[in-house]
Chains A and B, each alone.
Chain A
Amino acid sequence: MRQNSSSVEYAINYREIYQQRLLESDCEALSKSALGAARESTRPSELVEVWAMIGAKCAATPVSQELSNKYPVYSHLMELPLKDLMKSMALEETCRSWSGECEDFVLLLERLYQTADVQEQQLIISVLPLLKSPERFLYIATEAARTNIVPVFSALALNNPFPQEHFSENQWNQMVLKTIFVGCNIAQIVGLHERHNSALSETIFQYVRERHSAHRSVPSAVVELCERQLTESCQLQLNTIKPDLRKE
């Protein structure tokens, strides 16, 4: 699948942010040796060792205000500990220099994901758009969309171009609904408007009705999204409940 502009832009910014955060830390030498070791890694256990080394040696360095201001859209990458960013770049390095069967790298990454802790699962999901032929990792992304662990789900659903480019309509719609259910800000979903469809409007309308029946509130951004491609009859129904719908 062709990578679209949001993914290319994401990858460029991700790499730039990593380089600049490295400059602000004393970890450049560590990064060089860790990425070097990652280049040689062909098995999950070897990458796990590289990760452990990064975890043990990479000091937490606060991001300068100047750097934060430079990338307002990527605040989540500023909040990620540098060691996690470094672990994700190690993964990218392994992927890039992979000389074995293409399929074997997919298996390696799936194994890593299955044995990862909460933070590691987040960094794997965050770096997916940077990897070569990211559509190979659809299964991992789907697992992240299914997880009950909100930070891992958020790493996929928010500020990440992967779902926009690789999710089917049903997967996309389920992910947006889950984002609403979890209470995350749908404005942070990459491609929210580009991927919107009438089926999703319809399902969100069901949700709004349920919330209304239960006397619960709905974020106004959700109502707005719902109204984007709503059928006329649903819109009429929505209009009748809107006056006493509690908005957030």
Chain B
Amino acid sequence: MPYIDPHIHVSARTTDDYQRMHAAGIVAVVEPAFWLGQPRTSVGTFQDYFSSLIGWERFRASQFGIRHYCTIGLNSKEANNERLADEVMEILPLFLGKDGVVAIGEIGYDDQSDAEDKYFRLQIELGKKFEKPILVHTPHRAKKEGVLRSMDVLEEHEVPPHMAIIDHNNEETVREVLDRGYWTGFTIYPDTKMGKERMANVVQEYGSERIIVNSSADWGVSNPLSVPDCAAVMRERGIDEADIRKVTYQNAIDSYAASGQFNPADWEESFSFDQAELMEGNSVLRGQAPKSGSS
């Protein structure tokens, strides 16, 4: 069964991870622009980061039979450096219209500061201009308040709910986000956020409509196989295959489809990969035996 991980920071992962992900059935990933664990200090490093999301990482993923898409945006943490944030806002339009950019994101609140609010709103407007869905990061601290506030702001800016994904939900926020009509993302982390068992409970209680599972795996303790692992737990629970497919594959497609850039044909039919295309010496393969196959 094919899976999509609609939120994973694969730039921070190894080629072992890519191989395991491909073996586990992950056919496509979306890498939202985020921070790198520490704040950047110049706009050039943002530009290079965005470029790598549409360049090197896209190529790197393709070598392992995985289609790579991304979202572009100024994350909430770094929005607090206003001088830099203004410079980043200026370069976002260079990237938002590119092929394979499926949303503006991940944007939203962290500390829920005034600066975060300012750049969240500016980017919502930018997303509307580019007709892109909006991927909303919700805060770890004061989660529920942050989720509600994010949705209020989206409504103020007249974003139709089907054009926004509210991410990192939990049992406390799921009801309200679903009721207000948004795509409802859940991040499965080994220790924090949601666990696999809890996720299965949510699907049993709320069904599969507009619910999306992701790993948000990055440079911290996280699991790039969260999506297929979670599907396995749901299967053990006897959750219907059709529901599992929705929360681990189809809803991801439907939520990002409005961008016009997320097309299953890209990975279903024509996508075959050939690692012999790789460079020895300075490529990711570094002289390992090439593998050929199709995803």
Q: State the Cβ distance, A61 to closest chain B Cβ, in Å.
A: 16
- Residues of B contacting A115 in the complex (Cβ-Cβ under 8 angstroms): 47, 50-51, 91, 94-95
Residue among A48, A55, A118 with max Cβ neighbours from chain B (10 Å): A118
Contact B277 A150 (CB under 8 A): yes
- Residues of A contacting B95 in the complex (Cβ-Cβ under 8 angstroms): 115
Contact B97 A51 (CB under 8 A): yes
Interface residues contributed by chain A, number (CB under 8 Å):
24
- Residues of A contacting B91 in the complex (Cβ-Cβ under 8 angstroms): 115
| Inter-chain residue pair count (beta carbon < 8 A) | 65
What CA separation (Å) do A152 and B56 show in the bound complex? 10
Q: State the Cβ distance, B155 to closest chain A Cβ, in Å.
A: 28
Is B30's CB within 8 Å of the partner chain A?
no
Contact A119 B99 (CB under 8 A): yes
Contact B47 A117 (CB under 8 A): no
Choose from A55, A121, A178, A183 the contact partner of B277 (Cβ within 8 Å): A183
* Per-residue contact bits, chain B 254-295, to A (CB 8 Å; 1 contact, 0 not): 000000100000000000000011111111000000000000
Which residues of chain B (49-74) have a CB below 8 Å from chain A? Answer: 50-51, 54-56, 58-59
Q: State the Cβ distance, A4 to closest chain B Cβ, in Å.
A: 29
Choose from A114, A117, A178 the contact partner of B100 (Cβ within 8 Å): A117
Interface residues on B, range: 20 to 34
Contact A151 B59 (CB under 8 A): yes
B68's nearest neighbour on chain A, judged by CB, is: A118
Is A52's CB within 8 Å of the partner chain B?
yes
Is A29's CB within 8 Å of the partner chain B?
no
A53's nearest neighbour on chain B, judged by CB, is: B97
Is B98's CB within 8 Å of the partner chain A?
yes
* Per-residue contact bits, chain A 23-63, to B (CB 8 Å; 1 contact, 0 not): 00000000000000000000011001101100110000000
Contact B279 A150 (CB under 8 A): yes
Choose from B47, B55, B277 the contact partner of A118 (Cβ within 8 Å): B55
Contact B280 A181 (CB under 8 A): yes
Is B2's CB within 8 Å of the partner chain A?
no
24 contacts between A and B (CB under 8 A): A45-B94, A48-B94, A49-B93, A51-B97, A52-B98, A55-B98, A55-B99, A114-B47, A115-B47, A115-B51, A115-B91, A116-B51, A117-B54, A117-B98, A118-B58, A121-B55, A148-B59, A148-B279, A149-B59, A150-B59, A151-B59, A181-B280, A183-B277, A183-B278
